[in-house]
Homo-oligomer: A and B are copies of this chain.
Amino acid sequence: MADMNPKPWSETTVVGKGIPRIDGRELVSGAARYSLDMDLPDMLYAATLRCPHAHARVVKVDLAKACEMPGVRAILSDADKEANVPWFRKMGPPGANPQPVSRLFDPHCRYAGDEVAVVAAETQEQAWDAVQAIEVQYEKLPFLTNVEDALKPDATAIHEGGNHPGQPNAYSRGDVAKGFAESDIVVEETYRTSCELHTPVETYGAAVRWDGDHLTVWESTQSPFSIQSGVASALKMPLSKVRVICRYMGGGFGSKQDTNKFTVIAALLARRTGRPVKYFLSREESFLCMGNRPAYSLKLKAGMKKDGTLLALELNAFGEVGAYPAGSNPVGGMLRELYTCPNVKTTEELIYINGGQIRAFRAPGYPQGAWALEQMMDTLAEKAGMDPVEFRLKNAATVCATDANKPFTSNGLPQCLTEGAKAFGWKEARARAKSDGPVVRGVGMAAALWSNVARPRSTVIVKYYLDGSVNLNMGAADLGTGMRTIMAQVVAEELGVPIARIEVENADTGTTQYSDGANGSKTTMIDSPAVRAAALDVKHKLLEAAAEQLKVPAAGLTLKNGEVAGPAGSPPTKVGQLALMQMQQVVVGVGVRAPHPSDKSIRPFAAHFAEVEVNKRTGEVRVLRMLAAQDSGRVMNRLTYESQVIGALTMGIGMALTEQRILDGNSGRMVNANWHDYKIATAMDVPAELTCLPIDPHDMEVNSTGTKGLGEPALVPAPAAIANAFYHATGVRPTAAPFTPATVINLLNQGKRQG
């Protein structure tokens, strides 16, 4: 066996470099074929009739006219026996499903966007036209657009049993009542965040094709193996007969890991018609139905001693889950772990409303939690008369309170705080903030951690060819992060192969090995050690074979550029000349990640710093510059690392300043389901100075590549840092996100009145 617990990489020459993406040319030129681009001969195209009402019951569906429309080949609705099947909260592996929450085409439509019927036609346009020809009679029902209304005793019930999907998520340690009683200073505040929509560049959907009893799905997904098990479960098929492929992907951010109705419906349509079917949602449909970061109301109470020692934290949070149950959204997660605090109590609950449902969204729950916690920390620091950085340093956790107080494999938080502050020029910037005149400036910061579960073990195959080129086979999707490039670097590092000679085959359940979904910021930390192990397995096999053939000890041999080199002076041997290679053309290496240490906890950390300018006349807020100090373990690729951080900061600006789904109170319908009215931060909103400061704690306990997670923790503190900067500039606390020009004007007016 190859050494699966190799020595730390003290001197890497490829890993860590800012190597451009191996598929950059395809991505930039448009040559890359995304799932959205999958067109197959004889393909049919699907379109959906969606309920236009926030809450309604379908009384009658008349397909007669639609069936006569040009190009129509099949229409599915609840009247269809085959489509009259249950739908689950989360499609699990076959046989593992709990109670269904609805039907595939449920006549009880719970939000404006629920599926009523789907048409397959020869062209996309014909499908859309046919949808318009379906005649539906609805019985409209009372609807709910916010949690406050949904919690009223006489509120309409969105599901049988009411509007609570389950029990609240409760956590407690110590005794918060006692903690508050012992506190010198107690602060209580309610923070609010808005519902943010997923807006990946590639919309949602799948193309499917049957080959006998075997189904191939090309889907834009972060998690091919989850889609495989969801579809197999829905269609009652063996897992082995469902193949899910996602070669290129235009973003997911957490919204592309669940099994979707569109995939199952496409499979049913394809089976019925004997044709491949492509079923991708329009941009508007993607806004309506494909998930969001839930709006939250976070009531937070904090107590501390005069000297700034945290004593107690209590959180009561309500979020909008939308019309259907969904996974947890741990807004209290960071609050329980980031700071040393003996008494903590968190209660979190998600409530039904008649809106599109939530989905995982880049660090689910954490940005909302940070929005509350990190503004509160700012307030506490002020009340303790301490600098915000100093205050956080004083209270920073040294062990993981929720994980048996285990130490961390590494803890770069203090470094993130101090080195981040230094690099940002924190003290100088705070000192020169400008609070007079119509345009004021302020500086703020916030800290964060992220808790990613790194349980699954992926298997990776490396094929080393006799010409010294390499094929890397792994299950993980590259949702746009540059994963393929990073993994190729690991192979290049261990096998001495130029990056250009490495091809990565990934995200194909039929032909690549298992990997957990690309989510939780854990692809690099889970898969790169497996890739390294597979590469080392190849190296081991090659050098052992060379040693036997050359009659020298393997320990003295090295592998580089397709050659095995011996002790200095001896001529290198081309790998193709090894008998092993001449026998089989390829050496196959297999790698799995070694288990994480059980006696330590793994957390990435971050501290963000922001400088903002507020125009008190117009309410406009401009982020002037930001710096993100990230402890995500080793930097595998300087360029992709920066891309992650810049993208996350951009998203943080959107959350703080512009993004919010608006449900119309009169109709219950979303009124801004487009990129014009739903405002994400664009290049126009992002400052030129977004600085990425990696803090590498040289953590070789976490795994063999020293990597923790980056994508999510790089977002978490950003909105709160901007809020704290706003407060620093204005003296008014923006408890509700986003603070748009209109709300800023209100805030400042209220602040004036208060002040």
Contact = CB atoms under 8 A, between A and B. Distances in A.
Interface in A4-50: 23, 25-26, 29, 31-33, 39-41
B469 A588 contact: no
A455 B583 contact: yes
A465 B95 contact: no
A458 B588 CA distance: 10
A500 B239 CA distance: 11
A240 B588 contact: no
B514 A239 contact: no
B211 A33 contact: yes
Contacts of A211: 26, 31-33
Given A457-B584, A510-B471, A502 B240 contact: yes
B466 A503 contact: no
Nearest to A233: B467
A638 to B, nearest CB: 23
A212 B25 contact: yes
Contacts of A234: none
Interface string A236-251: 0011110100000000
A94 B39 CA distance: 34
Contacts of A583: 455-457
B94 A239 contact: no
A96 to B, nearest CB: 7
A461 interface: yes
Interface in A446-465: 455-459, 461, 463, 465
B585 A229 contact: yes
A239 B576 CA distance: 12
Contacts of A458: 584
A511 B514 contact: no
A510 B514 contact: no
A584 to B, nearest CB: 5
Q: How large is the interface on A (under 10, 10 to 19, 20 to 34, 35 or more residues)?
A: 35 or more
A752 interface: no
Interface in A480-533: 500-503, 505, 508-514, 516
Nearest to A581: B93
A426 interface: no
A240 B513 contact: no
A456 B94 CA distance: 39
A513 B463 contact: yes
A241 B584 contact: no
A32 to B, nearest CB: 7
Contacts of A95: 467, 576
Contact of A93 (B508, B516, B585, B590): B585
Contacts of A501: 238, 240-241
B240 A514 contact: no
A586 interface: yes
A503 B585 contact: no
Contacts of A455: 583
A470 interface: yes
Interface in A216-240: 225, 229, 232, 238-240
A318 B31 CA distance: 53
A457 B583 CA distance: 7
Contacts of A469: 238-241
Given A25-B212, A26-B211, A514 B586 contact: yes
Interface in A533-566: none
A259 interface: no
Nearest to A574: B95
Contacts of A470: 240
Contacts of A238: 465, 467-469, 500-501, 503
A210 B26 CA distance: 10
B212 A503 contact: no
Nearest to A508: B511
Contact of A212 (B26, B210, B229, B512): B26
Contact of A461 (B41, B213, B461): B461
A80 to B, nearest CB: 24
Contacts of A240: 463, 465, 469-471, 501-503
B467 A93 contact: yes
Nearest to A506: B511
Residue from A31, A33, A243, A513 having most chain B Cβ neighbours under 10 A: A513
Contacts of A243: 503, 505
* Smallest CB-CB A-B distances: 7 pairs: A511-B511, A238-B469, A240-B469, A239-B465, A514-B586, A240-B503, A26-B212
23 contacts: A26-B211, A39-B41, A41-B41, A93-B585, A96-B576, A213-B500, A232-B467, A238-B503, A239-B465, A239-B466, A239-B469, A240-B463, A240-B471, A240-B502, A241-B469, A456-B583, A503-B510, A505-B510, A511-B511, A511-B512, A514-B584, A514-B586, A590-B590
Given A26-B212, A471-B510, 9 more contacts: A239-B467, A239-B471, A240-B469, A240-B470, A243-B505, A461-B461, A463-B514, A514-B584, A590-B590
